[in-house]
Amino acid sequence: MAKGKIICLVMAAGSGSRMQSSVKKQFLPLEGKAVIAHTMERLRQVKAIDGFLLVIAPEDEAQMRALEKEEGWQQVAYVHGGKERQDSVRAALQALPKETELVLIHDGARPFVPVDCVEAVIKKAKEMGAAVLAVPVKDTIKAEAEDHLVEKTVPRESLRAIQTPQVFQKDLICQSYEALPDTEVITDDAMAVERMGKPVALVMGSYQNIKLTTPEDMAFGAAILALEKQQKEAKQQMLPRQTAQQKETLPQAEPVKATAQVEIYTDGACSGNPGKGGYGVVLLFQGKRKELSAGYAVTTNNRMEVLAVIKALELLKKPCQVKLYSDSKYVVDAITKGWAEKWRKNNWMRTKTERASNVDLWEKLLDLLKLHKVQFIWVKGHAENVENERCDALARAAISNNLLLNDEGYIK
């Protein structure tokens, strides 16, 4: 393994006793491929990772190396784990290259982590020193008293289920483990950092990023892979064909004047505010039509309204004259009345004491507006505007998608 600045520790030394299988869970077949192979396939798509350190049981090394050869893994080294998970992490930390600056620690039995979630948690760890993926708890949580009675209901609004990868500056995680008494048991690596009194940032994870622990989880895993395959095929079908017709439908980038006439309709929706959200876009150009939508696990209605406009304008490959229809006063007024430009000039302060919301999206939108001549037109929601209603339907359909995206800009 080449020495690198960002190293990923893949924890795969456990016995997986709860899986009730004679085969360790990291080697169980999932849709024709070992679980650990799925995990590595996902992680290897993250360009920021310079190398991998697989933490394994000594007796598994031959089988793991055979997988490495079969799958074509690169920049991989191995270290033998200990009795407890924290013993395994300690061993791995001691084996890190000296030049390592950032350490990702990921469960080998989490093969479905979205690449964008990994990239987001790396980015946050660079800023904060420590960051972990997390998702809001969906279920009602109750504390249990003696005799299996309910002691109390725990408010879930601030509760988060923690996932991996967890990412740390090397010196911070090493010092935290060095200070951890051998007798103290921790259930995740962030606990060692918290024990030092250091802040740990939460980054929105994904509900698909499950850990395969019990036999039932394998069935869920197969369903996730099947759904991802369907979504990939559907997305490919929606993409314009790479033909001369495409160049006519969605103009390619050229240094020309904004002469192409385009109509765009956008809408955003949210189930709960904040809550699950989605956006819908309809683009009309020279008799052609393109639709676009996506859903997010936790966001706000305003964010979806702005994001819809951004995604629509990003479809345009050269400067265009655009009539953009939206039923969002928040969006239309912020642009037509110059509010967003004023916020940016004032370092994103709406007043002397109040910062503007959704700064990340307004930055993108204002930059896109420099490329095109856009006329914003407000339309009344649910006023029998066919295209506006279609956008609303697309947005709401996206919310019902089981595999929702991470709105990185919402949770910091």
Q: Specify whether 382 is catalytic.
A: yes
CA distance 187 to 54: 19
H or E stretch covering 115? helix 115-128
Peptide bond into 155 cis (omega under 30): no
268 noted as active-site residue: yes
Greatest alpha-carbon span in the chain: 76
Q: Which of 60, 119, 327, 408 is catalytic?
A: 327
Q: Which of 107, 267, 387, 408 is catalytic?
A: 267
Q: What residues contact 103, with CB distance under 8 A and at least 6 apart?
A: 6, 7, 8, 9, 93, 96, 167, 168, 169, 170, 173
Q: Is 392 a catalytic residue?
A: yes
Q: Write out the DSSP string of 286-320.
A: TTEEEEEEEEEEEE-HHHHHHHHHHHHHHT-SS-E
CA distances (Å), origin 88, targets 53, 66, 271: 11, 22, 42
Cβ contact 262:256 at 8 Å:
no
Q: Tell me which residue has tokens 């394994």.
A: 56
- The answer to whether 38 is a known catalytic residue is no
In 170-273, which ranges are E strands?
201-204, 260-271
The residue ranges of DSSP E strands in 97-247, in sequence order, are 102-107, 130-136, 141-144, 150-154, 160-169, 201-204
Indicate the DSSP class of residue 34.
Answer: E
In which region does residue 239 sit, left (phi positive, over 0), alpha (psi from -120 to 50) or beta (all else)? Answer: beta
Which structure tokens are listed for 22? 């004679």
Is 60 one of the annotated active-site residues of the chain? no
Q: Choose the catalytic residue: 14, 205, 268, 295.
A: 268
- Say which of 50, 392, 407, 408 is annotated catalytic: 392
- Look at residues 84, 88, 108 and name the one whose alpha carbon lies nearest to residue 185: 84
Active site (annotated) includes residue 275:
no
**Tokens in use for 242?**
């790479």
Burial class (CB in 10 A: 0-12, 13-18, 19+), 91: middle
Catalytic residues: 267-268, 305, 327, 382, 392
